[in-house]
Amino acid sequence: MKQKNVSVLGCGHIGKTIAVDLCEDYSVTSVDSNTERLNEISSSHNVNTLQKDLSDKNSLTEVIKDADLVISAVPGFMGFKALKYIIEAGKNVVDISFFAEDAFQLDELARANNVTAIVDCGVAPGLSNILLGFHHKRMKISSFECYVGGLPLNPKLPFNYKAPFSPSDVIEEYLRPARVVENGRVITKDALSDSEIIEFDKVGKLEAFVTDGLRTLLKTMDVPNMKEKTLRYPGHIEIIKLLKQVGYFDSKEIEAAGKKIKPIDVTAQLLFPHWKLEKGEREFTILRIVIHDEGKEIVYDIYDEYDVETQTTSMARTTGYTCTAAARLVLENQFNRKGICPPEYIGEDEKCFDYIISYLNERKVNLIKRIN
């Protein structure tokens, strides 16, 4: 039987992990504009590489023409257009880019092109949606809470933070108003608000604040109370709030030294060196899902660290392996629903749910479940 072709768009930490995880069973092509990244993956793994500008429609369409499945691991600002181009090309796709636009805008297009398009398929959103989708199908849920963070194991002042994915996406997360559901109504709150301190095993105290991570759940789940909160080391929120207050994240141009600049562009360039993970730097991902029905509380916890042996970041493992599990379901025709398919649709199917959880366990991304 002919080996199936997978095109992975983006070769950052997560895109590389996805390509490596799939290359033993499929013919994988990693596509990126960065030759250094491509040379690194091709020198150590059986992955084909292409250097292309993925922001260009013709270029993107050309590189995926022979693909049986496309995985989009591009930065969020490119994500929606890339997904649209992939669907227009009639290719099934699993997408992990965290774009601001509503993916359901492309649902009619995906159905018309007979495309299965799984979106937001990372750890949160992604695995969190899968867990909620499974339980929502089987019980009446009164509330859903998601707490998630990717953090350095050895934090350093002043930020006590490193970005395990695109730093531009982190800044966007701090700026985008957060939608939560309270008593059946969607309410918009400022990002970084509703802060609280929570203590976790192995980590200690972290601060949590609302971010706009519910996304598709706002349309697909009739749960009266839902929220997602991001986790950071205590003190991080106040630093980011100060930068926002002073105007460092403003996108309106100002004049400086005779030139017009956007403060956010300068801030991003200044922050990225502080937030960049060094090669081999240890970090961890922490996820807690709390689901209430009328009689009990179901809690899922993940604590996952950087894999020293494979030199794979934890965020790449937890996000990438959720994505590749879903990709295999599509490639092996175990999930073939057409249109825009958020991960909660996968979770509704018990066989698909069990496969995802088993797949993660095999890669030592372990969910601990308890019922209170």
DSSP string of 312-331? B-HHHHHHHHHHHHHHHHHH
Q: What six digits make up the tokens of 291?
A: 């689901």
Closest CA to 72 of 3, 11, 163, 148: 11
162/277 same-domain check: yes
Residue 216 lies inside a defined structural domain of this protein: yes
Residue 371 lies inside a defined structural domain of this protein: no
Summarize the chain as % helix, strand, coil (round to 5): 35, 30, 35
Strand residues in the chain grouped as ranges (E): 5-9, 27-32, 48-51, 69-72, 93-95, 116-118, 141-152, 178-182, 185-189, 196-200, 204-210, 225-232, 254-256, 259-261, 283-293, 297-305, 339-341, 368-371
Residue 372 lies inside a defined structural domain of this protein: no
The H or E element spanning position 352 is helix 350-362
C-alpha–C-alpha distance, residues 64 and 291, integer Å: 39
53/93 same-domain check: yes
Coil/strand/helix, residue 42: helix
168/258 same-domain check: yes
Question: Cα separations (Å) of 46 from 28, 35, 41, 54, 329?
Answer: 8, 16, 8, 22, 22
Beta-carbon contacts of residue 10 (< 8 Å; ≥ 6 apart): 31, 32, 54, 72, 73, 74, 75, 97
pLDDT of residue 5: 97
Block residue for tokens 């695109």:
166
In the predicted structure, residue 325 carries a pLDDT above the cut 80:
yes
259/149 same-domain check: yes
C-alpha–C-alpha distance, residues 341 and 119, integer Å: 6
Residue 325 lies inside a defined structural domain of this protein: yes
What band does 327 get if pLDDT is binned at 50, 70 and 90?
very high
191/150 same-domain check: yes
Q: What six digits make up the tokens of 39?
A: 């040379």
Residue 42 lies inside a defined structural domain of this protein: yes
Q: Which of 257, 277, 305 delimits the end of a domain?
A: 305
Block residue for tokens 């971010």:
211
Question: Which range, of 87-96, 274-283, 332-341, 359-368, averages the lowest pLDDT?
Answer: 274-283
C-alpha–C-alpha distance, residues 120 and 122, integer Å: 6
285/146 same-domain check: yes
In the predicted structure, residue 2 carries a pLDDT above the cut 60:
yes
Residue 370 lies inside a defined structural domain of this protein: no
CB 213 within 8 A of CB 145: no
191/108 same-domain check: no
225/212 same-domain check: yes
pLDDT of residue 202: 92
What band does 164 get if pLDDT is binned at 50, 70 and 90?
confident
75/192 same-domain check: no
Please write the tens of the pLDDT for every residue from 56-77.
Answer: 899 999 999 999 999 999 988 8
Count of domains for the chain: 2
pLDDT of residue 347: 98
Residue 310 lies inside a defined structural domain of this protein: no
Mean per-residue pLDDT for 178-183?
Answer: 97
Q: Where residue 233 sits, what CATH number does that domain have?
A: 3.30.360.10
Mean per-residue pLDDT for 144-153?
Answer: 96
Please write the tens of the pLDDT for every residue from 294-320.
Answer: 789 999 999 999 999 999 999 999 999
C-alpha–C-alpha distance, residues 28 and 23, integer Å: 5
Please write the tens of the pLDDT for every residue from 209-222.
Answer: 999 999 999 999 99
Q: Where residue 335 sits, what CATH number does that domain have?
A: 3.40.50.720
C-alpha–C-alpha distance, residues 190 and 89, integer Å: 37
172/155 same-domain check: yes
In the predicted structure, residue 1 carries a pLDDT above the cut 60:
no
Q: What six digits make up the tokens of 346?
A: 């996968």
**Pairing verdict, β 141-152 and 178-182:** unpaired
Q: Which domain holds residue 150?
A: 127-305
pLDDT above 90 covers a percentage of the chain that reads 86
Q: Which of 282, 305, 328 delimits the end of a domain?
A: 305
pLDDT of residue 172: 87
How far apart, in Å, do the first and last CA atoms of the chain sit? Answer: 48
What band does 98 get if pLDDT is binned at 50, 70 and 90?
confident
Tell me the chain's radius of gyration from C-alpha atoms: 20
301/348 same-domain check: no
141/262 same-domain check: yes
Residue 80 lies inside a defined structural domain of this protein: yes
